[in-house]
Structure 1
């Protein structure tokens, strides 16, 4: 966190939840809480291990994190 009231505090997690809702949840509504939990867990794994991100030069978050690859400064 950058500090109380900073505009960038939630930007990244809000973007993630938007992706989750529009790419998965709205297309596959869960039947119950357990299905919601298990499907969310699957999506998190997909998002980190398989989904390529333009902002990460078409790499997955895991590829960037675990390979310690330096990316150019993205504005």
Structure 2
């Protein structure tokens, strides 16, 4: 079996939490991304 790299999976709970914070607009996308250690484009989509 080969070692296949899969992209990191984020829980629905985390996604919802980040989405709610993004909607509130307290932090910029970059600040949110840094806080949750995810790429800012993940939040934008």
Q: TM-score, normalised by structure 1?
A: 0.29
- Report 1 or 2 for greater relative contact order, CA contacts < 8 Å, sequence distance ≥ 6: 2
Instruction: Give the number of the structure whose alpha-carbon radius of gyration is greater.
Output: 1
